């Protein structure tokens, strides 16, 4: 498990979405969720809170972010909006069954080091999600390793197998830091989610325009819509 320092959490809080490599994945999530007016949303692995803010901007009446890293929780709490709540968790999500209309885990599953942990997280999200609700996972496209992206990079490695560690350099202007991520294939996600009972579909969104590096050629992310 990677532990973000206060400084890395602060850098993370400045990453943003528009004009970054993260934009295409979040746009796809926006399309899947549609209007969230009056809905409650769970943001699993909420980090410094940018995904939670996006969900609010889509109309959600209440967003709960959960994360196991205290520095990220402290950073997110600085957003101080009464519709946003951030809770440090260990494993369990402290809510009853069928609480949330929708859930998201953005850029979280690359930090998950085993299939068992992926299963435990997905099972817990399934429990607190209402029937028919979407759990959107934005994570790395397994075909995108070695690509030259604006916001982060992984070294090219054609020999990666599911569960292998890979260093990720996260970039924001002159600031950067390296964290250990894990390589997973799309079938790893599908197998875990379908065994739990989710119906799974996947998309690989691209961006268009001139201001991109490899983002316009090879989708940086796979966006998974797992419906309970």
**CA-to-CA distance for 86 and 84, rounded, in angstroms?**
7
Our finding on whether 111 is near ligand SAM (CB under 6 A) is yes
Please, what is the minimum distance in Å from the beta carbon of residue 210 to ligand SAM?
25
> Which residue number, 46 or 131, has a Cβ lying nearer to ligand SAM?
46
**CA-to-CA distance for 182 and 162, rounded, in angstroms?**
8
Q: Are 138 and 25 in contact (CB under 8 A)?
A: yes
Our finding on whether 108 is near ligand SAM (CB under 6 A) is yes
Token couple for 196: 């739990």
Please, what is the minimum distance in Å from the beta carbon of residue 156 to ligand SAM?
21
Where b means 16+ CB within 10 Å and e means fewer, 70-92 reads ebbbebbeebeeeebbbeeeeee
> Which residue number, 122 or 131, has a Cβ lying nearer to ligand SAM?
122
- Which of residues 23, 45, 101, 223 is near ligand SAM by CB under 6 A? 45
> Which residue number, 74 or 159, has a Cβ lying nearer to ligand SAM?
74
> Which residue number, 29 or 160, has a Cβ lying nearer to ligand SAM?
29
Please, what is the minimum distance in Å from the beta carbon of residue 158 to ligand SAM?
24
> Which residue number, 107 or 228, has a Cβ lying nearer to ligand SAM?
107
Token couple for 206: 């691209």
Sheet holding 152-153, edge to edge: 152-153, 165-172, 175-182
Our finding on whether 228 is near ligand SAM (CB under 6 A) is no
Region 57-76 residues binding ligand SAM, contact defined as CB under 6 A: 67-69, 72
**CA-to-CA distance for 147 and 175, rounded, in angstroms?**
20
- Which of residues 20, 46, 122, 220 is near ligand SAM by CB under 6 A? 46
- Number of residues this chain uses to bind ligand SAM (CB under 6 A): 17
**CA-to-CA distance for 23 and 125, rounded, in angstroms?**
24
> Which residue, 32, 12, 38, is CA-closest to 136?
32
50: exposed, middle or buried (Cβ count in 10 Å: 0-12, 13-18, 19+): buried
* From 40-48, 148-156, 208-216, 218-226, span contacting ligand SAM (CB under 6 A): 40-48
Please, what is the minimum distance in Å from the beta carbon of residue 94 to ligand SAM?
12
Binding site for ligand SAM (CB under 6 A): 4, 45-47, 50-51, 67-69, 72, 89, 106-108, 111-112, 121
């Amino acid at each position: 498990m990677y532990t973000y320092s206060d400084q890395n959490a602060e850098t993370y809080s400045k990453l943003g979405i528009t004009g970054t490599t993260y934009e295409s994945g979040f746009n796809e999530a926006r399309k899947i969720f549609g209007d969230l007016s009056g809905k409650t949303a769970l943001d699993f692995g909420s980090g410094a809170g940018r995904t939670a803010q996006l969900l609010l901007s889509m109309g959600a009446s209440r967003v709960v972010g959960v994360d196991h890293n205290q520095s990220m929780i402290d950073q997110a709490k600085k957003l101080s909006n009464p519709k946003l709540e951030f809770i440090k968790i260990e494993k369990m999500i402290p809510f009853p069954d069928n609480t949330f209309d929708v859930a998201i885990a953005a850029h979280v599953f690359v930090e998950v080091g085993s299939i068992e942990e992926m299963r435990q997280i997905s099972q817990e999200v399934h429990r607190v999600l209402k029937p028919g609700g979407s759990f959107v996972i934005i994570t790395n496209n397994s075909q995108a390793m070695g690509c030259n992206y604006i916001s982060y990079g992984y070294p090219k490695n054609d020999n990666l197998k599911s569960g292998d560690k890979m260093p990720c350099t996260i970039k924001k202007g002159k600031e950067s830091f390296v964290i250990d991520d894990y390589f997973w294939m799309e079938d790893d996600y599908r197998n875990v989610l379908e065994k739990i009972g989710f119906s799974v579909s996947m998309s690989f969104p691209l961006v268009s325009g001139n201001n991109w590096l490899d983002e316009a050629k090879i989708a940086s992310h796979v966006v998974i819509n797992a419906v309970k």
